[in-house]
Each structure stands twice: as structure tokens, then as C-alpha cells.
Amino acid sequence: MVKVIIIGSGNVAQHLIAAFQNPQNLGTEIELVQVFSRQIGSVSQLLDSDHITNDLDTLAEADLYIIAVSDDAIAAISSKLLFKNRLVVHTSGSVPLNALDDNNRKGVFYPLQTFTKNKAVDFRTIPICLESENATDFQLLEKVAKAISDKTFAINSEQRKALHIAAVFVNNFTNHLYQIGQEICLENQVPFEILKPLIAETANKIMLLSPEEAQTGPAKRNDTDTIEAHEAFLSNQNHLTIYKTLTQSIQQNGKKL
Amino acid sequence: MVKVIIIGSGNVAQHLIAAFQNPQNLGTEIELVQVFSRQIGSVSQLLDSDHITNDLDTLAEADLYIIAVSDDAIAAISSKLLFKNRLVVHTSGSVPLNALDDNNRKGVFYPLQTFTKNKAVDFRTIPICLESENATDFQLLEKVAKAISDKTFAINSEQRKALHIAAVFVNNFTNHLYQIGQEICLENQVPFEILKPLIAETANKIMLLSPEEAQTGPAKRNDTDTIEAHEAFLSNQNHLTIYKTLTQSIQQNGKKL
Ligand SMILES: NC(=O)c1ccc[n+]([C@@H]2O[C@H](COP(=O)([O-])OP(=O)(O)OC[C@H]3O[C@@H](n4cnc5c(N)ncnc54)[C@H](OP(=O)(O)O)[C@@H]3O)[C@@H](O)[C@H]2O)c1
Ligand SMILES: NC(=O)c1ccc[n+]([C@@H]2O[C@H](COP(=O)([O-])OP(=O)(O)OC[C@H]3O[C@@H](n4cnc5c(N)ncnc54)[C@H](OP(=O)(O)O)[C@@H]3O)[C@@H](O)[C@H]2O)c1
């Protein structure tokens, strides 16, 4: 049996706890033995109270400690652990492996997904990016990750940084484009609902086509009449700047090919 | 029976033909009587050859003519029709109603979706934006639209222009962000596959949360350390410009609230 302890009670911690306890994932050789939460109440709906502690000093013995707390608290928490030479990992896309304290063996267990409290996700489809200092630890991480997900990847800190930045583009920035779409709708008394099937299909397409193949629109066609008409229509300066920047980028792309 | 004729054989025409012929939509009072295609072969897999013509002058009589050809061919085709005072509509998001020839009654039948040849879509979920010159024609358009879709909207030319621009943001520009995500992955030897579940979930979230509620990331948190690290990492000047522009826009948003 591989014993796992989760430190934290936020979004990621709660989804991890649920995944390890999902009946579909039992029968694997992984056991979630304890969770640390500053406030016991945050996770008491997820597991029995004798498996929860709010005192770092009383953490049980385990094969793997997963620190799933805010990025800026990871280093401090890892340095407060009283034991030595055990495997301690964090779940962050942007914190390097070496932010973890030298007292223990270091690793990363980064689930590349955007989690929302109270919104279930199918953890088995979530890519987990793994990093460790040696092959034995990697095997352990992989065993644990495979217990809850079908997709595990060896990703070093440099690659993880790149992935995290790419994730900012396809997640944070994309969501901001949805918001601009909504703003344009509001300004023109059109329900934003009308755009939702298009948003869904745009994401669907990328599962089958490459982004180059899926690209359409006035910028791609170099349709300058339509581009000029759109620019004249956009009275919001911020929307206009973004329209021009992205249109230019798509047009440059066309020239590259 | 309402008789419909489709003029065109591209993406939109083919999906419309399939929708009108979908057994699920039969029993409605709509009949697709004929299709015009410059090349008969383009649609011969979709319907019997005696329902296809490549000669505009031999178009049958119908209650509704749907012109689904390239934007810049709509005006010319509508002026070549030999009959008068019938209802003729186009399917474009960006062409005004008045681009249609004065010889016939004008309207718009704009399905707001991105169509791909050979990729089936569930037409019933696609919003159809309708416009006409009078109430009787609108009722007819609505009847036809409801035969193939559950979502019909009255949208005038100004609103449709706004919707089309909003669609450029949530579809064309979003797809371009996917492409940048892929480029960053390629440059750093990471498979783009890893980002696909994130792309799917980002679109999923917007079905339940508003864009404001769904927004996360370093720009939203005003996490200047991470933003600076990302900017230092991005060696591609074009990626950097887009990163800065969208980060600034998200930060300004925070200040507005
Ligand atoms: N959210 C995502 O979609 C996502 C995806 C992949 C990876 N990650 C990474 O996963 C980690 C956790 O993110 P999250 O979204 O779960 O964050 P979150 O929902 O904001 O939760 C943060 C957790 O950290 C705890 N915490 C913060 N400061 C602490 C401190 N000084 N001492 C002890 N505990 C502290 C919080 O405790 P309290 O509840 O008591 O305040 C809470 O349990 C981060 O490294 C993040 O980068 C997040
Ligand atoms: N694609 C979308 O996702 C989408 C979504 C909503 C609305 N629309 C609108 O729907 C309309 C059709 O778009 P589409 O995507 O179906 O275009 P498409 O796939 O490029 O097909 C264009 C069609 O127009 C015909 N055509 C072009 N020039 C012509 C001319 N001078 N005379 C006769 N026929 C001509 C083409 O005939 P040949 O095949 O013989 O060349 C073809 O059948 C446009 O107004 C577009 O804005 C498109």
C-alpha cells in the first residue's frame, strides 16, 4: 500500500481528495491516510474527522506528501515539516521544484486543469505532470497519478513553466475574450447566450483539427473591407486594441506559412 | 407546405440541406424543393439529381429562397434572379439586409455557428438569427427556422454586425490563442495534447459561470512576479505583445469593478 497525505484544503486539494476516494479508483494500491487543513471544517464533508489534522507537527508517516496550497505558501509549508528525507511534492504549474525545502526529497504533481469548487471534473481525463529528483521517486509518483488519471507525463520545471504560460493563453486569455464577446453583446442588446454554441464548437474543433486548420475569419482571409468595418464599429478603445493586435498576429501567421 | 430553395453548395448550404432532410425534422410543414449549385456534383451525395439545378434561370417557384454563397457573391446572385416580389434571404453574419436586390422581399437567415465540411453538427442547438422587412415574412422565416433549430432570434442588421464581431473574438481570436499555446508547446518539446482537457473545460465553464466569475490567472490576481517571469520567458515578440495586451486588459477590468 502506498500511503498519501494531502496538505491543503482549497480547490485542488478538494478535487484530489475526491479523486483518491472515488470508488472507481479503489482497488489501486493507494491509500489517502490523512489531510492537513488549517480549518478542519473545510474538508470535513469529504472525509472522516480522524483523518483530518490542523496541526502540521502531528502529520502521520506516509510515502508521499502532496502540498496543494497557494503558490506563495508552498516554500514556507515545506520548511515547517518536522520529518526528513521523505517524498514531498507540490501541485503548482509555476513554482519550481527547488522551491521545496532541502530537508525532504522533492517532486511535482501538477494536474493541468482549471478547477472550480463544487463543479465535479472527471479526474481520469486530467493530465498530471510529474517531476522528481530520481527514478525511484518518479515511479512512485507515476503509480499514484495513474490511480486517479489516465494521463501522466514526465515534465521538467522548464517545460512546466512553458506549459503554464501556454495555459494562460488557452485558459485565462480565452476566457477574457469570452468576456469581451459578452461586453459587445450587452452594448448592442443581444443576449450573450447566442454565442455559447459557437464557443462550445470552437473548443470542440480543436480536438479534431490543428489550430491552423481550424482558423477562419476576416483576418485569416485577409478580408480588409470587413476588418475596417469591424474596427470602425468598435467604439471601446480596449476592444479595438485587442482586435488590431490579434488580427495582425493572424495575418503575420498567414505570411509565415 | 412551405417550399424552400437553397442557393449554394458550400459549408453552410450543405449543413442546411442535411438539416432540412434530417428525419428528426420531417413532419414539419417545410419542404426543400430544390438546390442550386454551380457544380451539380457538390451536393449530389445529399439529394436526388432532379432536385438539383446549375441554372439560376430554371429555379422552381418557392416561398423562400436561401442564398448561402460567399459574402461577396450574395448581391450579384440576388440581382440575377428572374422572378419578383418573392422572399429571398442570405445566411451571412456580416452582409446587411440591403445588399439583397430590390426586386424581391429581403431577409436574413444567419445560423450563428462555425461549420466544418464533413463534421456533423446538431443543428437543433444552433441559434438562427432572423431579420425581415415585415411581420408576415418574419413569421415565415421563424416557421422555417424552428423546423431545424430550437433557438431562433429576431436580430436586426446592426445587432447582427455586433454579434458577428463578438463571434470573431470568441471564435477566430480564441482559436488563434490555441495556436499560440501550441507554438509555445512545440518550442519547449511538450505535447499540445496536454492542453486539450483545459481548453474543453474553459469552454465548459462558460456554460455555467459568467466570464467575470470564471476569470482566473496571474493578471486577475495582479500577481506581478508571475507576470514578469512569464514576460521574461516569452522570446517570441508577437507572443509577448499579445501577453502584455491581454494581461493589461484583464487588469483594467479588475479596476472597473
Ligand atoms: N485552481 C486551479 O485550477 C489549479 C490547477 C492546477 C494547479 N493549481 C495549483 O494548486 C495549488 C493550490 O491551488 P488552489 O487553486 O487549490 O488554491 P485555493 O483554492 O486558493 O486554496 C489554497 C489553499 O492553500 C491554503 N493556504 C494558503 N496559505 C496558506 C498558509 N500560509 N498556510 C497553510 N495553508 C495555506 C488555503 O488554506 P485556507 O483555506 O485555510 O485559507 C487553501 O487550503 C497552487 O499551487 C496552484 O498553483 C491550481
Ligand atoms: N462557414 C461558416 O461557418 C458560416 C457560418 C455562418 C454563416 N456563414 C455565411 O454563409 C455563407 C456561405 O458561407 P460558406 O461557409 O458556406 O462558404 P463556402 O463553404 O466557401 O461556400 C461558398 C459557396 O458559394 C458559392 N459561390 C461563390 N461565389 C459564387 C458565385 N459568384 N456564383 C455562384 N456561387 C458562388 C460556392 O460555389 P462553388 O462551390 O461552386 O465555388 C459555394 O457553394 C456566407 O455568407 C457566410 O458568411 C458561414
pLDDT tens track for A187-199: 999 999 999 999 9
Look at residue A171 and tell me whether its pLDDT is greater than 60: yes
Q: What is the pLDDT of residue B255?
A: 73
Write down the pLDDT at residue A256: 64
Q: Name the minimum distance, in Å, from the CA of B59 to any CA of chain A.
A: 31
CA distance B79 to B83: 10
pLDDT confidence of residue B257: 53
Of A162, A161, A140, A164, which is closest to residue A152 (Cα–Cα)? Answer: A140
Tens of pLDDT along A77-116? 999 999 999 999 999 999 999 999 999 999 999 999 999 8
| Mean pLDDT of successive 10-residue stretches along chain B, which has 257 residues | 97 96 84 96 94 97 98 97 98 95 98 90 96 98 97 97 98 98 97 98 97 96 94 97 98 77
Q: Do B190 and A242 touch (CB under 8 A)?
A: no
Q: How far is A77 from chain B (nearest CA, A)?
A: 20
Spatial strand order of the sheet with A105-111 comes to A52-53, A30-36, A2-7, A64-67, A87-90, A105-111, A127-132, A151-154
pLDDT at B256: 64
pLDDT score, position B154: 98
**Facing residue for A202 by CB, picked from B175, B195, B241:** B175
Q: What's the confidence (pLDDT) of residue A166?
A: 98
- Give the per-residue pLDDT at B243: 98
Domain with CATH 1.10.1040.20 in chain B: 160-255
SS3 content of chain B, % helix, strand, coil (to 5): 55, 15, 30
Q: Quote the CA–CA distance of A170 and A164 in Å, as a whole number.
A: 10
Global pTM reads 0.95
Fold designation for B160-255: N-(1-d-carboxylethyl)-l-norvaline Dehydrogenase; domain 2 (1.10.1040)
How remote is the CA of residue A199 from the centroid of ligand 1, in Å?
A: 29
Instruction: Give the cell for residue B228.
Output: 514578469
| Chain B partners within 8 Å of A198 (Cβ) | 112-114, 167, 170-171
Helix then strand then coil, in percent of chain A rounded to 5, is 55, 15, 30
Give the pLDDT mean for A147-165: 97
Average pLDDT value for residue range A57-85: 97
Residue A28 has pLDDT above 80, yes or no: no
Pocket test for ligand 1, best of A36, A70, A81, A113 (most atoms within 8 A of CB): A70
Q: How far apart are CA A149 and CA A124, in angstroms?
A: 4
Q: Please report the atom of ligand 2 found closest to the CA of residue B9.
A: 43
Q: Which CATH architecture has domain B2-155?
A: 3-Layer(aba) Sandwich (3.40)
Distance CA B207, CA B53 (A): 42
Q: Residue B153, SS3? A: strand
Cell 472597473 maps to which residue?
B256
Q: Which grid coordinates are listed for B86? A: 418573392
Ligand 2 centroid to residue B12 C-alpha, Å: 7
CA distance A173 to chain B (A): 7
What's the average model confidence in pLDDT over A46-56? 96
Q: How far is the CA of A8 from the centre of ligand 1 (A)?
A: 6
In chain B, residues under CATH classification 3.40.50.720 are 2-155
Question: Cell numbers at residue A249, please?
Answer: 498576429
Q: Residue B208 has what DSSP assignment?
A: T
Measured from CB, residues less than 6 Å from any atom of ligand 2 are: B 8-13, 38-39, 42, 68-71, 73, 77, 90-93, 110-111, 113-115
Test B188 with A159 for CB contact under 8 angstroms.
Answer: yes
Q: Return the half-sphere exposure (C-beta side, CA atoms, 13 A cut-off) of residue B254.
A: 15
